[in-house]
Structures are given as C-alpha cells and as structure tokens.
Amino acid sequence: MSAESIKKPINMLTFLVSYKCTNECKHCALQASPNQEEITVEPEDVRKYLEDVTKNYLVREVNFFGGEPLLNLDLLICLIEETKKFDIPKIGLPTNGYWGKHDTIAKKYANKLKEAGVNLVGFSVDAFHQEFIPLDFVKRAINAVHETGIETILIIAQTIGSQNDKNPFNDKTNEITNIISKEFPFCQVIKSGVQVKGRAIKNLVEYFPILTIPKDKCLIFKAPMFMIDPNGWVFHQGCQGICIGNAKKTSLSKIISKFEPRKHPIIGKVVAKGGVSNLLELAIEKGYKSQNGYADKCHLCFSARNFLRPFYPNILEPSNVYFYEK
C-alpha cells in the first residue's frame, strides 16, 4: 500500500486570493467590493501551505477564490503555477467574467489560465452579478475559456429560495441562465440558494419568509474542505468568518488535524442538538437582543456572531466580513 493511499483526503483546499472585487453584489457573504483592503495571498504562502499539507493529506482539488481572483492576473498565475508543482489533480476558480470586455483580453486571460494548469472555471452568472457585469462580457470569457480546451466550465447562479420561487431576482437569474444554456450547451449550470449572511442581511431579507427561531443543526462541517484567506485565517470551506486557526502562526496540517467541530467554541454550538439556536442563547446571555424571527439559520448564525465578535477574538475573524455595531 502506497503512502498516498493511506493519507486522509481533503476534498477541496481554497485560497481566498483577495477580498477585493469589481462588484459589490447584494448577496455577497464575504462583502467583497472594490473598497476592500489591498491584501492578497502571496506565492510563498501558497508554497508553504501546500508543502505542509500535502505531506500529510491527499488534496483532491485546489480552488482560488475572492473577491474576484482575476483582478491581479500575474499574481494568480504565479499561485496556480505553484499549485501545479504539487500534482493536484483539479485546479479551479470562480470568476465574474469582467475580463471578457474584448476578445483579445478574454483570449489572453483564458490562455494564461490554461497554460498555468487550470482545468475548471466557474462563472458567477445571475441577477446579482449582472447588475455590474454585462452579459456579453461573460459570454466572451466563456467562449475564450472553451476554446483553450479547459475541461470543465460551470455556470454558478444563486437564487432566493428555490429557483422556482417568484421574485424579481429569480426571474432575472432564470432568464440569464436560460440564455447562457442555449448559447453554451457545454456548460454545466449549478443553482443554489442564497444564504442570508454578510451583505444579504442588509439587502435581501425582505424576499424571504421569516421563520421564528431556526433550530437546524449545521451539517456543512463534516466535509473535509478548508479555506485560507490572505491574513492566514483558516475556515471551513462552507462558512467563512468562523476561524479554526491561523496558518501564519500554526502549520496548516496541524490546524486541520486538530479540528473537531464539536469542541470548537462557536461551531460546537451549531452542530449540537438545537443547532443555531444554541448560538442565539449564547449571544443573549451576553446582551444580544433577539429579533422575532430570521430568514434562515445562516441569518440567525451570522447575526449572533456579529454581536459576539468582541467576545471571541481570533475566532470570529476577519473583521471585514462582519458589520460594525455602534
């Protein structure tokens, strides 16, 4: 039996390249925008993290996230080339396709991604992104990526509730994805519901039915998927803003090996019986005033965490994904 075959798998390891974006989408959980701080993941960090984690784990996929990861193309290409050295079978990224403004630029970006080692590109295409990015830009970028021979092209769209729920955002998203599907049948369309956290709390709550107090357990933490941001904060892939360590201070493989959801001071609350309502109780004990109801469990969880931030430094980080309470 080979050493590789006995390593524990990590389904996805994501590097959050930057919190900066061309857009300021109404639904963004990370509150990415053009106004976010100028800080990025550096190639030497990616190298260090991968050298460490691949010694101990079998990494199946590396993803580069944002913000908009292609805002600094030269940096992104360096990060991808570093990753390719570790024989990761799948290397991918999401993008809003802003770089499809002209054919020449679109082809340049797509070719560089292919040459560096990318084999999966997801395009964020929905009512939220098309408020900022003309659909023709995205079409041009999709076509350029397809022409390079990149194996997998995804269309990633977010809806409010089910895609069949009637509201102006879903109507627009369904219209956009129908256009893309007809024009680019080789793309796989993936639709998922918006989670009410981050900027969605300020912009979209009115479009959701308000529940009393959700008591769902959070099940996302079972999958071995992790994200590292430019500051070294490590999250579970499914929920940024709840840190399980800092890879600039402790080795990434050690952080992952010691991660036990039930023992984490915040995650432990939401995975236990009673789910996110446990986190609400903790916040109330410390002076939080509960709302009468919440749009979903993420809305409750994020609202409680936003209040609890001063009580959990180095855990409820970074500050830029939260709101500042007065």
The tens digit of pLDDT for each residue in 157-193 reads 999 998 899 999 999 999 999 999 999 999 999 999 9
Q: Three-class SS of residue 115?
A: helix
pLDDT at 211 over 90: no
pLDDT at 51 over 60: yes
pLDDT at 206 over 80: yes
Q: Name the maximum alpha-carbon separation found in the chain.
A: 58
User: Check: CATH 3.40.50.1820 for 3-208?
Assistant: no
Task: Quote the CA–CA distance of 144 and 262 in Å, as a whole number.
Answer: 45
Instruction: Tell me the pLDDT band of 29, cut-offs 50, 70 and 90.
Output: very high
Q: Helix 103-116 vs helix 73-84: angle between axes, to the nearest 10 degrees?
A: 20
Would you kindly state where each structural domain of the chain is located, as residue ranges? 3-208, 261-319
What was the pLDDT predicted at 238? 86
Q: Helix 103-116 vs helix 135-148: angle between axes, to the nearest 10 degrees?
A: 40
pLDDT at 2 over 90: no
pLDDT at 5 over 90: no
What was the pLDDT predicted at 4? 57
Instruction: Please state whether 245 falls in left (phi above 0), alpha (psi between -120 and 50) or beta.
Output: left
Contact partners, residue 3, CB within 8 Å, separation at least 6: none
* Span 141-158, average pLDDT: 98
The tens digit of pLDDT for each residue in 230-246 reads 999 999 998 999 999 99
Are 197 and 29 in contact by the 8 Å Cβ rule? The answer is: yes
Cα–Cα–Cα angle for 306, 299, 222, nearest 5°? 95
pLDDT at 6 over 80: no
What was the pLDDT predicted at 1? 44
* Span 89-103, average pLDDT: 98
Per 3-state DSSP, the chain is made up of helix, strand and coil in percentages (nearest 5) of 40, 20, 40
What was the pLDDT predicted at 3? 53
Q: What global pTM score does this model have?
A: 0.94
